[in-house]
Amino acid sequence: MSNFKIAEDSVDPNAVPQRVLHTGAKMPGIGLGTFGSDRFSNEEIAEAVKGAISIGFRHIDCASVYGNEDYIGNALKEVMDSGEIKREELWITAKLWNDKHAPEDVIPACKKSLKDLQLDYVDLYLIHWPFPNFHEKGCDVDSRSPDAKGYIHENFMKTWRELEKLVEMGLVKHIGTSNMTIPKMKLLLKDAKIQPACNEMEMHPHMQQQEFFDYIIENGIAPIAFCPIGSPTRPDRDKTADDTVDIEDPIVLKIAKKLNVHPAVVCVKWAVQRGQTPIPFSVFRNEYLGNISCTISEPLTDEDMAELATIDKNNRLIKGHVFLWKDGQTWEDLWDMNGEVTPA
Ligand SMILES: NC(=O)c1ccc[n+]([C@@H]2O[C@H](COP(=O)([O-])OP(=O)(O)OC[C@H]3O[C@@H](n4cnc5c(N)ncnc54)[C@H](OP(=O)(O)O)[C@@H]3O)[C@@H](O)[C@H]2O)c1
């Protein structure tokens, strides 16, 4: 028996902006993040998934490393058992974790996510990071995996080929990347048989990644924005003294005051209007309702958008220290700052 019901104050999912992908498929232009940053239980996150779907969300961003796909699977089953929502109305993303890049591990890892999510297919399957570097959950930023490696294109393509097979097997509708750079994406686009449909990347007003954003749009790839609010409550291990706070930015605060909304909502609204698909996380109904409602309310003015474009600080929050592979490196080495892939 399912107790799931569409809420009376639900936003019409058909009114929410959609992104048309290279296959012609439509992806809902806002999703719910499901990484609880160690602050929320799996039960709370699964409850948020049901709550978010009940108020109009149709896109859920999952990953095996978040450790909650089985709980989310129960939530999705309850939603679909209610008969109120069909599978094809939902957009579910899952991600291959770094310890499963070996070609023989990819298909089993995807099948495990499908089993946990209780689905026959996912709409999008991403390679979570372009490095096969594993680290223990919750470890500190100085921790390194002894067998960590840099980006080796030949190896990445072997992993990609397995993702292509997943499409051919019908287990995955689209494939994509996350935490990439322009130099790595150029290599992938040259060699992929099935091109990436989406690239999930950090984007918020203080980290706009304009050049990369333009590059992937030009290449027909839809950008998905993680940490769209600047992840204000991310774990302390992911914070550094120089990090800035988007929701305290004077321009964001000024627009929020004018619209009488939380500054977080300005970040989400800006993202959708700029053309990326934000996946804000929240387990609180008032917050996720605010996040989806703002996608259908009156748009930000051209002046607001122009002002928000000026506050980029190139402030990367998810620096990825734990994926470094050699002594003496800095996190910038992960991001190919000089325009070429950092040698492995
Ligand atoms: N591909 C990747 O490598 C990668 C990396 C990081 C994240 N992600 C994905 O992106 C998702 C989002 O990133 P994130 O969770 O780090 O950061 P985020 O979405 O930028 O920030 C989430 C926090 O913002 C606050 N918030 C959300 N909506 C709000 C509202 N309307 N009003 C006020 N506060 C609001 C909440 O804080 P409170 O809980 O305190 O209210 C929430 O915990 C993750 O859950 C995950 O699915 C992917």
Task: Specify the residue with its C-alpha closest to ligand 1, atom 11.
Answer: 33
Average pLDDT value for the chain: 95
- Between the CA of 106 and the centroid of ligand 1 the distance, in Å, is 27
Pocket test for ligand 1, best of 226, 293, 316 (most atoms within 8 A of CB): 226
3-state secondary structure of 47: helix
> Does the CB atom of residue 319 touch ligand 1 within 6 A?
no
- Between the CA of 156 and the centroid of ligand 1 the distance, in Å, is 28
Task: List the one residue out of 14, 43, 45 whose CA is nearest residue 32.
Answer: 45
> Does the CB atom of residue 181 touch ligand 1 within 6 A?
no
Task: List the one residue out of 63, 64, 2, 53 whose CA is nearest residue 28.
Answer: 53
> Does the CB atom of residue 249 touch ligand 1 within 6 A?
no
Residues 156-214 have pLDDT tens digits of 999 999 999 999 999 999 999 999 999 999 999 999 999 999 999 999 999 999 999 99
Contact 126, 163 (CB under 8 A): no
What is the mean predicted confidence (pLDDT) over 104-129? Answer: 98
| Cα–Cα separations (whole angstroms), residue 212 to 61, 127, 184, 315 | 21, 18, 11, 15
| Percentage of the residues of the chain whose pLDDT score is greater than 70 | 97
State the pLDDT at residue 93.
99
Task: List the one residue out of 325, 320, 319, 321 whose CA is nearest residue 146.
Answer: 325
> Does the CB atom of residue 229 touch ligand 1 within 6 A?
yes
Domain coordinates of the chain in residue numbers? Answer: 13-335
Residue with tokens 């000024």: 254
Which residues are known to be catalytic?
66
> Check: CATH 3.30.559.10 for 13-335?
no
- Between the CA of 280 and the centroid of ligand 1 the distance, in Å, is 5
Residues 226-256 have pLDDT tens digits of 999 999 988 887 889 999 999 999 999 999 9
Least confident of 1-5, 31-35, 113-117: 1-5
Is residue 339 pLDDT above 80, yes or no?
A: yes
Residue 9 confidence class, pLDDT cut points 50, 70, 90: very high
Task: Specify the residue with its C-alpha closest to ligand 1, atom 42.
Answer: 282
Task: List the one residue out of 344, 174, 204 whose CA is nearest residue 271.
Answer: 204
What is the mean predicted confidence (pLDDT) over 68-84? Answer: 98
Is residue 101 pLDDT above 90, yes or no?
A: yes
- Helix (H) or strand (E) run with residue 292 in it: helix 285-293
Task: Specify the residue with its C-alpha closest to ligand 1, atom 48.
Answer: 226
Beta strands in 41-189 (DSSP E): 59-61, 91-96, 122-127, 172-178
State the pLDDT at residue 142.
67
Is residue 90 pLDDT above 90, yes or no?
A: yes
The two structure tokens encoding residue 11:
């936003």
State the pLDDT at residue 219.
98
Beta strands in 119-261 (DSSP E): 122-127, 172-178, 198-202, 222-226
- Between the CA of 254 and the centroid of ligand 1 the distance, in Å, is 22
- Helix (H) or strand (E) run with residue 112 in it: helix 103-117
Instruction: Determine the atom of ligand 1 nearest the C-alpha atom of 262.
Output: 32
Is residue 140 pLDDT above 70, yes or no?
A: no
Residue 138 confidence class, pLDDT cut points 50, 70, 90: low
| Percentage of the residues of the chain whose pLDDT score is greater than 90 | 86
> Does the CB atom of residue 292 touch ligand 1 within 6 A?
no
State the pLDDT at residue 303.
98
